[in-house]
Amino acid sequence: VPVDFVARAIDHIGHQPDLDGQTFHVVDPHPLSLGDTLNEFARAAHAPEFTLRFDRRATSMVPDQVTQIVSNIPAVKQLKAQVLEGIRIPQTALDYMGNRANFTAEQAQAALAGSGIACPRLHTYAWKVWDYWQRHLDPELPTERNLRRALEGKVVVITGASSGIGKAVAHALARSGAHLMLVSRTEEKLNEIRDGIAAEGGTAFVYPTDLSDVDACEAMIKRVVADHGHVDILINNAGRSIRRSVEESYERFHDFTRTMQLNYFGAVKLIIGVLPGMRERGRGQIINVSSIGAQAFPPRFAAYVASKAALEGFSRCLAPEVAHDGVVITNIHMPLVRTPMIAPTTFYDAFPIIEADEAAEMVVEAILKRPQELSTRLGKLGEVVDVAAPGFLHLVMTGAYHLFPDTAGKSKDPNAQKEVSVEGLALAQLMRGIHF
């Protein structure tokens, strides 16, 4: 009930004569069920409402002893904890839902009779509560306060931090209170970013590493743990992208091996390096910066998409193994981002591309929400089409292959140098962000 109603009711009752020694429950005399309460807030938030209701009387047929035995099974307890964490409901709220106490309002209502003080119906003020919560209290809002709450004192490893998405993420987390571990091959650039973060009031440390060397990956993680005790969040952002058809790669098998070495084997080595500590502490997150290409399978990206799909497959298989230890693995399906990785390819100049800062916002969202997967609407559409109408997706991508030329200078085909056609530009706008 609203606090102003409670305050006015207590004030009024406290000033009435001959009521000493009595008990007054200042509650809603016409309380709503849990389902109706949730639906009031769903309407205020313009969200879908619950239509299926669960009758608690159905559980009364089950003996309490059986319920307690089942509830105390470790696997059941862990599953329950994971479900509650996923829907952001604390255990204490669940315990309250099972409280069978009944607080009647008859005496309070009698004492308030004629005062004009009454408990307002929830629908008259639910929107105010929702609006205030949404603007000020939502723990998933990408605010500096929420980031600090989530990351204060945490050790965060960011690979590929010398440029592009990694650099943008480092600056996005600069004032979060986290200890940022900046990892890439170029020490000079890392030092510049570290100094910039320090100027913003943050803390960063430099760990130059060739992430395509699995032994170097292992050594780097060991140094980080030795220096800082553990790793709370690993952001696998470093990657190599190659836009080249398989036909143009007949004599370039190293395109596939070197892409897999960095994008898959290096990332897996880092994951294996941080997992034991995360599981021991019962908390941790691994964020893999994947690609929308792993949802839509664009042509000319066989090497790149295969490496990202491999990491995603590994992570999805691993996630259930570590969920009970409080470790979350998040795969982010990034759209095409303007980074130094694509800078040499002028072909992309004609395409809609998001900036690195926008990509960093997706990483921040992943940290605050800890989802299993994060992607764009277009990426989700690609997944749905692939399942519902795989032939149609194949047709679209076949058309894309013929509409968009090979990268200039990488093909013997004289048509490779031509500009993107009007039809190609139209398709690019319809499928914003997919790597062609």
How many Cβ atoms from other residues are within 10 Å of residue 159's Cβ? 26
239-263: per-residue pLDDT in tens? 888 888 888 889 999 999 999 999 9
Side by side, the strands of the sheet bearing 327-334 are 203-208, 179-184, 155-159, 233-236, 284-291, 327-334, 373-375
In this prediction, residues 6-25 reach a mean pLDDT of: 94
pLDDT in tens, 189-224: 999 999 999 999 999 999 999 999 999 999 999 999
Separation of alpha carbons 319 and 330, rounded Å: 9
pLDDT of residue 276: 97
The whole-angstrom separation of Cα 234 and Cα 267 is 10
pLDDT tens profile 317-374: 999 999 989 999 999 998 877 765 555 454 445 455 778 889 999 999 999 999 999 9
Q: Hey, how many other C-beta atoms are within 10 angstroms of the C-beta on 393?
A: 20
CA-nearest of 364, 387, 384 to 374 is 364
Q: What is the pLDDT of residue 186?
A: 92
Q: What percent of the chain has pLDDT over 90?
A: 56
Cβ atoms within 10 A of the Cβ of 253, count?
Answer: 10
Rounded to an integer, the average pLDDT of 219-230 is 97
Instruction: Mean pLDDT check: name the lowest of 328-337, 383-392, 419-428.
Output: 419-428
Cβ(164)–Cβ(356) under 8 Å?
A: yes
Tell me the catalytic residues: 304
What integer pLDDT is reported at residue 341 of this predicted model?
55
| Average pLDDT over the chain, rounded to an integer | 85
**Predicted TM-score of the model (pTM):** 0.75
